[in-house]
Structure 1
Amino acid sequence: MTAIRLDQLVEALQGGVISVLSEGDAGAGSAGEQPVIGVELLDCPEALGTTAPGHLLLGVGLDIGDRTALAAALRTAADNSCALAVKCTAPALPDVVAQVREAGVPVLAVEPQVPWTRVQRLVTTILAARAAGTESGGGTTGGDLFSLANAVAGIVGGAVAIMDTQQVVVAYSNLSDQPIDETRRRGILGRRVPEDALADHLDRAVWVSDAVVRRHRPGDLPRMAVVIRAGEDVLGSLWVAFSDETAVTDCGPALQEAARVAALHMLALRRQVDAEQERRDRALRSTLEGQPEQGDPHGGVRLPAVLVGLAETVRETNGEESSEAGLAARHRAAAMRMLDLAVLDGRSLGYEPAAALLGNRVYVLLPAAGSGSVSTSVLLDHLLDRAGHSLHRSFTAVHSPTVGTLPALLSDRRDIDAALDHLGEQRADPGAYRTEDLRPELVLRRLVGAVRDEPELRTGIAERLRAHDAEHATDYAATLLTYLRHFGDVAAASGELHIHQNTLRLRLRRAEQLFGMTLTDPTRRLLLTLELTALAGLSQPPTAE
């Protein structure tokens, strides 16, 4: 296993990506000499029991301001002889530095705006490049993955296909007279492993082996497969189909060398993917802010797609931190960590998401074309469950139907915001919701907002009621609104108001007399309900029995 010293890794990751927060206890020797052989996500510490020593653990979701959480992460790193990377602005707080030094664990500080996905890819790339430099001794070459596939096919005498971890066919050989079967034909045409072949393609025997594995699915040509890795990071797989069993050669060393070369190409593709991810994120942010890219009918975003909005579910603070600035900082930090998780989960489940953080809300665009095999609902359930486990925060998610135009996308963003506002006001349980299911509530909010903002849409009766209440310490506005919301059910309305039913009836008759209105006309009842609802959120007059 190729390793790199921690100080060499930090030096290689220049450009404000990562720096040394603390090297641990100086008495334990130079932490910079600690070898790094791989990178792991520290979002599930109990799952790292079998992690080999020498990994860099990425503290996804770790709040270093939480001393208990930081102590648990440091213990995990120490128990596994690993280094730890955390999101932290420079310089770190003295108490954080002191806690890290006391633990004796080398800790690296990642700039908060740098996505964890980029850190993971950069470290993996550096390790793979180092491995290639030390282990390469010639052999199979190729200018790109397609030429590599052709070179391998010429050496071993079979038809080559290279797939990534999402089972997308990224390259294949195209030499003349190559063997082909229906699975290969459909895979090349669809650029993806056919559905009926996935079980065989994903068989555990293939993906846990470091050696070349022979596979022969009924109805298909015999194949040999090898996993493409960079260190311990799986990048994809390389498969060779042969014309028949007698044509299968002892090509293990050639395929393993080809997999090492393919790893470098696929890492380069990953760097392109990261650059494309940043472009998609910028395009989505600009579009949602009303500044789409010029010259593109979709504003630079990929449509059709589903738009998702996520907001932290705010509960009582229980006195943890009462300052408005402190709470805002915590919510902002949680939203930034959710942004990283959304991209990681979207990628892992086969999507090519775009994500943007506006205020304390995360917006994720999931393109319909080339989407993963799981539905949006399943992806969101997985994401929210992981956020609860990794971030120890609850989120509410609302997603739109599939949209195909820029105006529809912006309209759905407004619907999502309105839905998140509504769910927050109603203190709804965290979870995933659909705008279609909340359509009645969204329509009512839009109507009430229009009535509130445009005086010409009001009859004026609600203002007169509120003015009378303020001047005479009465409670006609609240009484009428409660009565109307209960559709004229006196028993239910009086119960909510905690008054006798006869008292309620008396107030209703008195209101009709004072304000010259009738509660028997359906149109007037509807208008009065909208007006009273629209003005209910404004400063309230004093109430009286």
Structure 2
Amino acid sequence: MPEDAITLGALLAALDHTVATLVEAPAGEQVPLRSVALGEPADLAGISGALPEVYLLVGADAAATGAWLHAAGERERSHRPRVLITKSADDAPVRAAARDAGIALVRLHREARWDQVFPLVRRLVTRAPARRTPAGDHDLLAPDTDLFGLAQVVAGETGGMVSIEDPSSHVLAYSASDSSADRLRIESILGREGPADYLRILRAWGVYDRVRRSDEVVDVPEHPELAMRRRLVVAIRRGTGAQARMLGTLWLQQGARPLRPDAAQVLRGAAAVAARIIARRLDAPSTEALLVRRLFGAHGDGVDVPSVVAALCLPVEGPAAVIGFAVLRTADGVGPASAHGVSAGRGSGAARGPSAGRGSGAVRGPSAGRGSGAVRGPSAGRGSGSTHGPSAGRGSGSTHGPSAGRGSAAEIGSAAGHGRSGGSGSAAEIGSGAALGPVAGLAASSGLIRLYASAFRDDSVTEAIGDRVYVLVPSYHSAAGVGSWVRELVAQLEQARGLVVRAAIAAPVAGLTAVAAAREEVDRVLDSPADPDARVTTLAEARTAVLLTEIIELIRDRPHLHDPRLAALDTYDRTHAADLRATARAYLRAHGEVSAAAAALRIHPNTLRYRLRRIESVLGISLNDPADRLLLELQLAAAPDPST
């Protein structure tokens, strides 16, 4: 078998029977697999060459799956996939079609999530077995050890079932399950994150509080009334003391037989090894990951187009599009301010350009000295994991015309604040399973975005950078089609994940060397105030809002551009209990219409005229002078209101 391939049997073992079951294997389980793609039934007609060796078929019932297999079977044998993964694999006609086509058929559990299964399968297929530690190899500190290998070895040494999760309870790896796996384990693997009801119970018992605050192995007793078996859990940390960073948790569920007496000790050692593996993954991204980040301008300058084209199998001709996604708020009204809880270690600092991506902390080494303990009941001192942010009115999920966003400079300045948020800590209690706040929620949904992007174009490239997610659609056929797909995805993110997202499209992009500049263009749109009626827009459509926001930011960031006369207006307001600043804003917003401004302020027009004369006197300007009005509007937009 080629060294750069994984076998069908090894792929199924890694996925586990909980997630995937082999239904048909015409060529056996030693079939080598090196490529993978995800698509819908209609995508087959648009692919003229060879199909990937592993194909995940989404949105297909039994009839559509059978028809797909018949169509695939009519292709040259070298152009057919070797494995089809689908949720509709049980019908006899489907199985017969797979046998006739010589394609292995794998049934995916109906509750498994495609947006989590696809990245897992892709990682397993594209990772060379020559660099993986064989099952049963106990040299767990070897450079080629991975989390799946670690989970399997720990399960064998303790007599239990292992799962390794990230700080937000998404399952990273797991050992094989048997019939004694409880609902918590099964649903965690299927959903790739802990079931919310069970996670709330564990939080109420203080499990996460203890894991977050200490290095002990926490013993969670069985609870038959909840069909929950006994399990041990320990934190996976990077560094110690003030430098410690939570990387995840390692869980060990007891099966039909008791865990071995030294299970806690084994778990402590495994947590140290897991910390090294995860740190190695964070600090040494794959060549493909580096190429993708460089392509988007987030890792060094310039891009080697031939290397990118070869590694990512991208077309070199035709117009491309770059789409950026940013959170406005969650569906329940929580805005994208930072959330507070257990930090997942995002670096600080404002991000404003294409090289934004927040960094991770320095490697300090695995933590040691973990003790063991037990949880017996409810515990106090639980972290709220709450998020804080403005609550804005919900906008439409679609747009059919230009993005307005053309309010006055005063309006845009007050909405813009200080541009993109800087240095938020990604949050939530470890393992809470709740959203980490809107920003982290979008990052966690990058898999779903990648799923839909791959279904739209199987050669699309998706990358999460900082608090945003970007998609490159190479060589698209229709700009209108790209826009329709983006609007559909924005609506889907709100429906499926409760995230109210805005998107900006840069198209056409002339070649891969221009992708980083296109991402910068997208960021300019996403940095500007959002128009609630245009959640999907372009720089051309939002140019007024974008340029005005950037002008206001320029004034705000340069003290020598601040008009010192505005301080006299604020002093007058403070010493006379007046509100001349608000009066000026209302007058300018009404374009100098006294009656409209007076109605907005709920005062008599003569009162407004008196206040306007007072403003002119204090500032030494004339509101009849267009230049004075323009300058005042820009200064009011750029300078914070001292009364707020």
Partner of 1:230: 83
Partner of 2:487: 381
Letter in 1 for 2:525: A
Post-superposition shift, 1:504?
0.9
Q: Classify the secondary structure of the residue corresponding to 2:504.
A: strand
Deviations 1:37-74 (A, max 9, x none): xxxxxxxxxxxxxxxxxx72xxxxxxxxxxxxxxxxxx
Post-superposition shift, 1:286?
4.0
Partner of 2:66: 208
Q: Classify the secondary structure of the residue corresponding to 2:621.
A: coil
Retained in 2: the 8 A contact 1:345–1:383?
yes
Partner of 1:12: 13
Letter in 1 for 2:83: A
Partner of 2:612: 508
Question: Does residue 355 of structure 1 match 2:462?
Answer: yes
Match of 1:260 among 80, 103, 116: 103
Retained in 1: the 8 A contact 2:84–2:104?
no
Partner of 2:643: 541
Q: Distance in 2 between matches of 1:383 and 1:436?
A: 21
Letter in 2 for 1:12: A
Q: Distance in 2 between matches of 1:422 and 1:143?
A: 45
Post-superposition shift, 1:492?
1.6
Distance 1:279 1:514, change over 3 A: same
Q: Distance in 2 between matches of 1:433 and 1:398?
A: 5
Partner of 1:345: 452
Retained in 2: the 8 A contact 1:206–1:213?
no
Post-superposition shift, 1:390?
2.7
Q: Classify the secondary structure of the residue corresponding to 1:170.
A: coil
Match of 1:308 among 316, 323, 342: 323
Question: Does residue 413 of structure 1 match 2:519?
Answer: yes
Q: Classify the secondary structure of the residue corresponding to 2:469.
A: strand
Post-superposition shift, 1:469?
2.8
Question: Does residue 291 of structure 1 match 2:299?
Answer: yes
Partner of 1:329: 436
Query: Which structure's relative contact order is higher, taking Cα pairs within 8 Å and 6+ residues apart?
Result: 2
Match of 1:477 among 578, 581, 591: 581
Correspondences of 1:93-242 after superposition (within 5 Å)? 127=22, 132-133=27-28, 165=44, 167-171=46-50, 208-209=66-67, 230-233=83-86
Letter in 2 for 1:316: G
Question: Does residue 399 of structure 1 match 2:294?
Answer: no
Q: Distance in 2 between matches of 1:463 and 1:214?
A: 73
Work out the number of aligned pairs and report it: 343
Post-superposition shift, 1:481?
2.1
Q: Distance in 2 between matches of 1:291 and 1:211?
A: 41
Letter in 2 for 1:230: V
Distance 1:462 1:321, change over 3 A: same
Q: Classify the secondary structure of the residue corresponding to 1:526.
A: helix
Partner of 1:496: 600
Post-superposition shift, 1:231?
4.8
Post-superposition shift, 1:380?
1.2
Retained in 1: the 8 A contact 2:34–2:125?
no
Post-superposition shift, 1:143?
13
Distance 1:464 1:273, change over 3 A: farther
Distance 1:474 1:515, change over 3 A: same
Partner of 1:436: 540
Q: Distance in 2 between matches of 1:399 and 1:532?
A: 31
Retained in 2: the 8 A contact 1:287–1:293?
no
Distance 1:392 1:261, change over 3 A: closer
- Give ranges in structure 1 of 5+ residues lacking alignment: 1-7, 19-31, 37-54, 57-122, 137-141, 146-162, 173-201, 216-221, 235-252, 264-268
Retained in 2: the 8 A contact 1:394–1:430?
no
Retained in 2: the 8 A contact 1:469–1:541?
no
Retained in 2: the 8 A contact 1:350–1:371?
no
Q: Classify the secondary structure of the residue corresponding to 1:400.
A: strand
Post-superposition shift, 1:371?
5.9
Post-superposition shift, 1:328?
7.7
Q: Distance in 1 between matches of 2:563 and 2:306?
A: 42
Q: Classify the secondary structure of the residue corresponding to 1:334.
A: helix
Larger helix proportion, structure 1 or 2? 1
Q: Classify the secondary structure of the residue corresponding to 2:103.
A: helix
Post-superposition shift, 1:519?
1.1
Retained in 1: the 8 A contact 2:321–2:472?
yes
Q: Classify the secondary structure of the residue corresponding to 2:28.
A: helix
Post-superposition shift, 1:356?
2.0
Post-superposition shift, 1:491?
1.6
Post-superposition shift, 1:479?
1.4
Distance 1:311 1:437, change over 3 A: same
Q: Distance in 2 between matches of 1:298 and 1:492?
A: 61
Letter in 2 for 1:260: I
Post-superposition shift, 1:399?
1.6
Distance 1:468 1:413, change over 3 A: farther
Distance 1:166 1:278, change over 3 A: farther
CA RMSD after TM alignment: 5.1
Retained in 1: the 8 A contact 2:295–2:513?
no
Distance 1:130 1:332, change over 3 A: farther
Q: Distance in 2 between matches of 1:398 and 1:9?
A: 41
Distance 1:298 1:484, change over 3 A: farther
Q: Distance in 1 between matches of 2:75 and 2:286?
A: 38
- Between stretches 481-490 and 206-215, larger displacement belongs to 206-215
Q: Classify the secondary structure of the residue corresponding to 1:496.
A: helix
Q: Classify the secondary structure of the residue corresponding to 1:306.
A: strand
Match of 1:461 among 537, 558, 565: 565
Deviations 1:255-288 (A, max 9, x none): 966643999xxxxx97899679976654343455
Retained in 2: the 8 A contact 1:448–1:534?
yes
- Between stretches 291-300 and 441-450, larger displacement belongs to 291-300
Distance 1:513 1:423, change over 3 A: closer
Post-superposition shift, 1:167?
2.5
Distance 1:372 1:271, change over 3 A: farther
Partner of 2:191: none
Partner of 1:107: none
Distance 1:414 1:475, change over 3 A: farther
